[in-house]
Structure 1
């Protein structure tokens, strides 16, 4: 399978995250915990949901995978424990937009890393890619889910 990648200049992103350890598909309850931590007035500073997978599941055993379930937040969002602030700088990103169920994400990451990147002439920055969820899985059919994988690039 091949995917379309666009090179984009993206603004900086501020994330409020909760750590997760274990298989990436089991991160759902961490997102629920994350949502439960935010008081109603603070939701005006929440711009969306994201996840950072810190490890390659082809190289790290599933039970040892590290991730962060995140809220994309504005500067006015007050961080508090156990939330961790994670920032991605403005710059060039390779963006792969995936339509379909989250189960398709591992293959999209594999393709981006193993097939697209080596022949692209691009070099990744020393930052993990992250994914942004563009619609709500509780209100959207799995085949209509939209997810962006954003890979920070050098230059």
Structure 2
């Protein structure tokens, strides 16, 4: 979320400098809050990891870096891929599969900078941003399904 899965502030922008980044951060907070309030354990883990990565990416972002690999963000995104892969392995839910696939796209976008394929910077951030919003949508849908399952069972 970030102009990246955890950060709406990459690409030379301060986190809340633009209206788009403010709206994106608000969407991220709302969806993760929904997951914490209405989701089961897998949704809470996914949302918690997302928010932690969001905050970590804010701490490590380098707004002056226009070229090359941002190794710290790559590390955060790789850890997130591991967290989501563990959710796929440990749960029987569908949404972690989608999140893991989208997070793989984000990590592979970083890999493009390592192998020196030079996509336009705007394309790089567009891929990461869209995949990040896809992660949020998948978490929201998974949370909604978990909540509705509990409602149908009369637990809520």
- Structure with greater proportional helix content: 2
- Structure with greater proportional strand content: 1
Q: What's the TM-score bracket when you normalise by the shorter of the two chains? A: under 0.3
